[in-house]
Chains A and B, each alone.
Chain A
């Protein structure tokens, strides 16, 4: 039954299916393989959560930028050069001592590509999408985040054309860090809302 041993091909069923689809689309002239490679290259190596981390670190260190970010996120993020597909209309929601925000797309897998890249597998999974709207605190516990009962949880279901990015709380003890050092603390999950940014060790 098990197919984890080597048959001489290391491709999984899914990878084979994708290959077959790609060959068909290419043979029929519906996709250009060079364009597809360029798209894969873009989202594997050029666009990812480091972009969002840069936005967060700037908001933490520049109050005027933070105001612009919370007022018109699309324009403020574009100031740093991040815009485009799946980030055309952005909303940034701020975590505070009183509020924790967490983002989901219950209908599919909508996600802010220019700032976070492509979504992780769990974000697209049915268990995350169906549970987080009903029991966000339980899901957060499984991600290792315990919220006090008094803190309000706001779940954002990105069912429409707006894309959501969480502005995490800046951890205490980081007052002397530079914007670049701060960006290094910001994780992808903290900008989805399934993590908080930890104070650096030591």
Chain B
């Protein structure tokens, strides 16, 4: 049944969080150095190519979320932690770039390894 007019305000105001109430132990903690896996999935992924293989620092732990790489294909939620991780501009783009600028991105457990 399609969405009806009377359902719109409730839907818009509530949304659907991708947080999962699951107990998943953190793989890394803020301050830790991580390396991003150099993986090349053929399906849906939220891991952009420009950070694959790069080293970053965990800034914060956002908690446990659905993993889109499986969820988008109807293969289950695969709940895992998501961390805000930063990379220096020089790590991503080379020594011509400012040494103090950073890029922050959110990474699921399955995208990273402790470095």
CB of A15 within 8 Å of the partner chain: no
The answer to whether B11 touches A85, judged by C-beta atoms less than 8 angstroms apart, is yes
CB of A107 within 8 Å of the partner chain: yes
How many angstroms between the C-alpha atoms of A134 and B3 in the bound complex? Answer: 40
Interface residues of A (CB under 8 A from B): 29-32, 34-35, 37-39, 42, 47, 83-89, 91, 106-107, 133-134, 136-137, 149-150, 152-162
Q: Which size class do B's interface residues fall under?
A: 35 or more
CB of B76 within 8 Å of the partner chain: no
Residue of A nearest to B65 (CB): A161
B95 surroundings in chain A (CB, below 8 A): none
Q: For chain A, what secondary structure do more than half of its interface residues adopt (helix, strand, loop), or is it mixed?
A: loop
B84 surroundings in chain A (CB, below 8 A): 91, 162
Residue of B nearest to A103 (CB): B104
How many angstroms between the C-alpha atoms of A157 and B84 in the bound complex? Answer: 10
Selected A-B contacts with CB under 8 Å, 26 pairs: A34-B4, A35-B3, A35-B4, A38-B8, A42-B9, A83-B15, A84-B11, A85-B15, A86-B15, A87-B15, A91-B84, A106-B48, A133-B103, A134-B50, A150-B100, A154-B101, A156-B105, A158-B106, A159-B46, A159-B47, A159-B106, A160-B105, A160-B107, A161-B19, A161-B66, A162-B84
CB of B24 within 8 Å of the partner chain: no
CB of B30 within 8 Å of the partner chain: no
The answer to whether A42 touches B12, judged by C-beta atoms less than 8 angstroms apart, is yes
Question: How many Å from the CB of B45 to the closest CB on chain A?
Answer: 9
